[in-house]
Chains A and B, each alone.
Chain A
Amino acid sequence: MSLGAGTEATMVADADERAPGPAPREGKSPTQIALERLRKDKVAIACLFVIGFFVLVAILAPVLVSIAGVDDQLHLDQVNPLTGLASFQSNADHPFGVKARTGEDLFYQWAYGARPSLVVGIAASALTMVVGVTMGLLAGFLGGVVDTVVSWIVDFLLSLPFLLMAIGIVPIALQRFGNPDSSGFIEEGRESTIRFIVLICVLVLFTWPTVARLIRGEVLSLREREFVQAARSLGMPTKRVVMRELLPNLTGPMIVNLTILIPAFIATEAGLSFLGVGLKDPTYSWGQTISQGVTFFDSYPIWMWIPTISVSLLVLALSLFGDAVSDAFNPQTRR
């Protein structure tokens, strides 16, 4: 479901971008104009603050947990052995409460949980953009066989049900790349690193086609435009046409897509962790905490609500910011 949200959001961008990118004027690039507009957008600035807050939490996680004096150990004594729940929701020792049964601290998991959410979001969307834009450019500009092949791969990847494939791929990748010893032993740290990488790869693998398709369309329409035609007829080498004429005009759609992909990936990570194929202990993630806490939402609400609110807020801030960016590049879509 979260993925659905993501893919559709990407399509929103698709529509936004159909309007041709504004031609350079007054010596300012479209990006510079957009940045100027963005600076004046109050919502965008507010969103930046929210995003900044979570980035700080992620960076400062070790500091925060030592200030709070919490650790990642089991604290069986913190919970009632009969009901498995702690008697408190929040106290000085455990500001965000503790997990049922094991008494693990939830503040610790929240602070460290900010990291994978952001890293997955940023790394996966950056990679997606790189792969997607490259393939889109190749297909759109070179055309012919390259276009056919890339388009076919795009069609192929988009025809696979993403979630099911993700669930299937994770354990296989673990087995292949985990280098288990003769007894099947994979170090815990190593395993969670692999999960992390696999998750990012899976996200990229199934999302770049959308981006490539979009960029290809853009390139196709740009290719026929006067300034590109002119540059080509003047005998400018292909490489320069791409770098000088095409890429600057693609910056808008690329940035807009980036701001849409990041929140979509964060939401997808949460969803995958809910299904048990996302990140695993000892890599904490908000999605994981939500999925564990959701059954206790009435008897121990803080467990689920803190990460839920955090994810929602981050995603909201990122997507509002994305809208602002999109507006900045395409002023006619709003106002």
Chain B
Amino acid sequence: MLVYILRRVLLGLSVLLAAIVATFCIFFLGPSDPAGALCGRQCTPDRIVQIEKDLGLNKPKTEQFVTYTKGLVAGNDLGGKKCDAPCLGWSYVQNRPVTDMVKQAFPVTVSIVIGGIVVYSTLGILFGMIAARFRGKPLDRVIVGVSQFVTSIPYFVLAQLFFLYAMVYYGLIPRAKYTSILDNPFTWFTGLLGIWLFYGTVLSANYVRYVRASMIDVQNQDYIRTARSKGLGERKIAISHALRAGIAPFLTLLGLAVAAELGGAIFTERIFGLQGMGNLALTSFDTSDLPVIAGVVVVGAVIIVSLNLLVDLLYGLVDPRVKLS
């Protein structure tokens, strides 16, 4: 067991390191002009050189990479600008540590994802089980049909329409607004409820079919047949055996959903006007604020890697069919 965990952790770390290298290569070796973006209108070549020097852009790329990685672990002192560990770099545009900006955006995205997952797993499991139970019947067809339909429409169109009609024009659902849960749990809840409902419902459309398929799959397994032959009731089987097996893929999906949301947040946050990681990245693209984008990517990779690790470990605890080896 310990060996297994250790091996998974090491694997995760190596993946993470590679992700940092890849991020650095893509975002710092590519064509961009952060000095020009900062220099402004009365920009002389001298000033560009000065800014590049200030930002350390004139140094060899390898040295920049070492500085970057060192900053992640031990913090940095960038030309008099103190950047504590884990230092994700310094935002050219906003003139402050990227870590601070990510710290500020992170809870927003996490709040959206967590609430969304609660909604989507509730709806998904509920309707998925119903559909599986009434397999082939009209109810099953309706559930599957609706979920197919919803997933076919581009998400950003749905989100835009939902936002304008439900929140702005008719005010059916409170306007999305983020307050920290630490400041005021109530406004945190009401402010994000609309997004959770929307995001969770749309996501659950996918999940319904997934739950349905895995329930049907599980019901055909030998140990369920055994349970049935022992005379256990259908409902009890569904809840105690089948659902338990269904949780394992749910965990996988959880990891994937978080990964997808880290990207998908760009749409959700952009359209609903919330300042999470996605919006942070998008704004930074507009201003060529590369360290910020790279920071978001690195943090995203850290989250995905650790979630996958967690899922792998939980998998073994939950699913009777999986053995840690």
Contact = CB atoms under 8 A, between A and B. Distances in A.
Direct A–B touching in the complex (beta carbon < 8 Å)?
Answer: yes
Interface of A: 1-5, 7-9, 11-12, 14-16, 18-19, 152, 155-156, 158-165, 167-169, 171-172, 175, 263, 267, 270-271, 274-275, 287, 290-291, 294, 297, 304, 308, 311-313, 315-316, 319-320, 323, 332-335
23 contacts: A2-B154, A5-B151, A5-B206, A8-B206, A8-B207, A158-B304, A159-B19, A160-B300, A160-B301, A164-B281, A168-B27, A172-B31, A175-B31, A267-B154, A271-B154, A271-B267, A294-B156, A294-B157, A297-B160, A304-B157, A312-B152, A316-B149, A319-B148
B186 to A, nearest CB: 28
Interface residues of B, number: 63
Nearest to B135: A334
A12 B296 CA distance: 29
Contact of A308 (B16, B30, B154): B154
Contact of A164 (B16, B135, B249, B297): B297
Interface string B281-325: 110010000000100110011001100100000000000000000
> Binding site of A, secondary structure by majority: helix, strand, loop or mixed?
helix
Given A4-B256, A8-B207, A152-B11, A271 B285 contact: no
Interface in B137-166: 144, 148-149, 151-157, 160-161
B202 to A, nearest CB: 8
B213 A12 contact: yes
Nearest to B299: A161
Given A161-B301, A175-B31, A319 B152 contact: yes
Interface string B45-87: 0000000000000000000000000000000000000000000
B187 interface: no
> Which of the listed residues A160, A267, A290 has the most CB atoms from chain B within 10 Å of its own CB?
A160
A335 B135 CA distance: 6
A315 B297 contact: no
Contacts of B239: none
Given A155-B15, A172-B31, A290-B156, 9 more contacts: A1-B263, A1-B264, A2-B155, A5-B155, A8-B260, A164-B263, A290-B157, A313-B152, A316-B152
Interface stretch (B93-101, B214-222, B225-233): B214-222
B114 to A, nearest CB: 16
Given A12-B213, A161-B304, A4 B252 contact: no
Interface string B223-259: 0000000000000000000000000010011001101
Contacts of B136: 334-335
B14 interface: yes
Nearest to B219: A332
Contacts of A12: 206, 209-210, 213
Contacts of B268: 1
A11 B253 contact: yes
A9 B152 CA distance: 12
B297 A311 contact: no
B43 interface: no
B35 interface: no
B266 interface: yes
B26 interface: yes
A297 B151 contact: no
A332 B296 contact: no
B262 A161 contact: yes
B263 to A, nearest CB: 3
A291 B244 CA distance: 42
Contacts of B257: 4, 8
A274 B155 CA distance: 11
Q: Say whether chain B's binding surface is mostly helix, strand, loop, or mixed.
A: helix
Contact of A15 (B154, B213, B264, B300): B213
B18 interface: yes
Nearest to A298: B164
Contact of B155 (A172, A271, A319): A271
B151 A319 contact: yes
Of all A-B residue pairs in the complex, the 4 with the closest CB atoms, nearest first, are A4-B260, A163-B263, A1-B264, A316-B152
B5 to A, nearest CB: 16
Contacts of B260: 1, 3-5, 7-8
A334 B137 CA distance: 10
A294 B27 CA distance: 30
A145 to B, nearest CB: 14
Contacts of B214: 15
User: Which of B31, B151, B264 has the most CB atoms of chain A within a 10 A radius of its CB?
Assistant: B151
A149 to B, nearest CB: 12
Given A12-B210, A335-B135, A155 B308 contact: yes
B11 to A, nearest CB: 7
B126 interface: no
A109 B193 CA distance: 38
B44 to A, nearest CB: 22
A175 B26 CA distance: 12
A13 to B, nearest CB: 9
A155 B19 CA distance: 10
A282 to B, nearest CB: 22
A159 B15 contact: yes
Contacts of B281: 164, 167
Given A168-B293, A172-B30, A159 B155 contact: no
A1 B155 contact: yes
B118 interface: no
Contacts of A335: 135-136
B152 A15 contact: no
A334 B155 CA distance: 28
